[in-house]
Structure formats: C-alpha cells, structure tokens
Amino acid sequence: MDITLLSPEAAAGNGTMSPGRVLGAYLAEARSECLRYLRAPGFMLPITLFPGMFYLVFGVLMARSGSADAPRYLLASYASFGVMSPGLFGFGVSLAMERDGGLLTLKRALPMPPGAYLLGKMLMAMAAAGFVVLLLLALSRLAHVALSPGQAAALLATGVLGVLPFCALGMFVGTLIKGQGAPGLLNLIYLPMSFLSGLWFPLPMLPKALQQAAPMWPSFHLDRLALAAVGMRQDALLPHVLVLLGFTVAFLLLAARRLRRFG
C-alpha cells in the first residue's frame, strides 16, 4: 500500500534508506499499531465479543430448534458481520481522531516510508478479523458444525482478506469527518449495510426490492464468499472477488486523494 502520506521532501529522503531499514520501519509501525489497539480494550472487546455473542445466541442456542444448516449458515454470516468492524472502525474512527489531533502532520515530518502508517493499521485490522473468525469457529463446535480443515481455513482466509474493502471504506470516511462524529457515521453505514446484505436475516425474508439491491453492498459479496467457504454455495466466486477488489481500489484512491489534498 504505497500511498504518499509524507511531504515530498520526506518522501524523497526515503530513497536513500536501505531495504533493511525500510522493512524495519514498516515492521516497527505495524508493531506499534498492534500494541496500541491491544492496550485499548474499549476498541478490541466490542469488535471481537459482539459477533461471538450474537452467534452464540442465534447460531448456537436458538438454531438448535431449527434447520440443521442454520448454525453453518449463521457462522458464515456472522463471520462477515464481524470482520467488517475492524476495518470500518479501526481505520475510520482512529484516522479521523488522529487527523484532528495532528498525528498525521507529525507522521509526515518523520523520515518513515510512505504508507507505513496505513500498513500498520491494515495489518492490525487483518489480525483482529482473524481473531473474530477463530472465535466463531470455536463457538461453532457447540452447535456441532462439522467443517473440514480446508473449509475452516477458507473461512479464516476469507475473513482476513475480506476486511480490506472495509479498511478502504473506513479510511475514506475518516478523511471526511471529525473524530467525534466518526463513530456515529460509521454505525449508520455498518448496521444498515449488514441488514441489507442479508447478514442478520436470509435475503429471501426481505422485501423483493431489497433483495435486488443487495449486490450493491460489499458485505453481500463477502457473505457469498464466506458461505462458499463453509460449503453453503456453489456459484462462481470470481465475480464476488472482483467486486470487492474494485471496491477496495476505488475507496483507497479516493481516500489517498483526500489525504494528499486535505491531510
């Protein structure tokens, strides 16, 4: 993610850094971001425990009286719901607050590689998404969901990589709004998008107009991939991957443009 966040003078100076120093700077920034979020339980607990709590209630306890496939279906849906949060809030809220506090201005003045700051946030979001999926996989054992090792690995990979479009969206929102308003705006995006994508209820239960509009949301395409990972769908995966990739690139470019212009 080579996004120019630094001033031209600082970015030019990076050309004299050895590859080892550049790699070390990226790793140091990633480590600092991970430690910062791990020391902030107000961030980590909601994004990891809420999906687990919802799956425990609806996918384990209540689904025992329904279809045998319900726990498997809800595992994929709540995994998609859970991995959206680290991307949206990990990027959006923190970036908005750090812009307000002048941290990005400080980062530009430091002799660090372009993109190291954002790469650290991205790796943290991917790690948090992976933890969410692993937690749901552990809870699925209580519902006797039998997944092969390949299916479990596919769901984990879908979650870890599927957080990236929401990182891009969160990053773009973080460039638009002040820090205090970011959580509210992101919730207005996160919760309706989850509902309209069929993550809380199967799409056939929604009005026909909402079913037809569902493919416009990235969460819909992530859910299709998650369902395929657990063996619930057999349709082509490439269109969903391409939509998510295009969504990621588009919002990443929009966010980078705003950061260059407005900081």
pLDDT at residue number 10: 42
Which parts of 101-175 fold into alpha helices (H)? Answer: 103-109, 116-140, 149-162, 164-174
Q: Which residues contact 223 (CB under 8 A, 6 or more apart)?
A: 76, 77, 80, 197, 198, 199
Identify whether the C-beta of residue 164 lies closer than 8 Å to the C-beta of residue 218: no
Domain range for 70 is 8-262
Q: Work out the pLDDT band at 147, boundaries 50, 70, 90.
A: very high
Identify whether the C-beta of residue 128 lies closer than 8 Å to the C-beta of residue 37: yes
Residue (of 191, 221, 5, 215) closest to 98 by Cα position: 5
Percent of the chain with pLDDT over 70: 84
* Number of structural domains in the chain: 1
pLDDT digits (tens, 9 = 90+) for 10-55: 444 444 667 777 777 777 777 777 777 777 677 777 787 888 888 8
- Answer yes or no: is 212 within a domain: yes
pLDDT at residue number 143: 84
Mean confidence (pLDDT) of the chain: 83
Which tokens sit at 188? 């207005």
Mean pLDDT, rounded, for 234-252: 93
pLDDT at residue number 114: 62
pLDDT digits (tens, 9 = 90+) for 99-139: 777 766 666 666 666 677 788 888 888 988 999 999 999 99
pLDDT at residue number 3: 42
Inform me whether the pLDDT recorded for 189 exceeds 90.
yes
* Global pTM exceeds 0.75: yes
- Answer yes or no: is 3 within a domain: no
Identify whether the C-beta of residue 178 lies closer than 8 Å to the C-beta of residue 96: yes
- Answer yes or no: is 1 within a domain: no
- Answer yes or no: is 84 within a domain: yes
- Answer yes or no: is 2 within a domain: no
141 CB neighbour count, 10 Å cutoff: 11
| pLDDT: which is higher, 177 or 224 | 224
Q: Which residues contact 86 (CB under 8 A, 6 or more apart)?
A: 47, 124, 125, 126, 128, 129, 132, 163, 166
Q: What angle do CA 167, 93, 132 make, to 5 degrees?
A: 55
pLDDT at residue number 252: 92
Mean pLDDT, rounded, for 189-206: 88
Q: Comparing 57-66, 102-111, 153-162, 208-217, which segment has the lowest mean pLDDT?
A: 102-111
Mean pLDDT, rounded, for 185-207: 89
pLDDT digits (tens, 9 = 90+) for 53-74: 888 888 777 666 666 688 888 9
Q: Using the 8-state DSSP alphabet, how is residue 15 labeled?
A: G
Residue (of 134, 125, 140, 126) closest to 232 by Cα position: 140
pLDDT at residue number 105: 66
pLDDT at residue number 67: 67
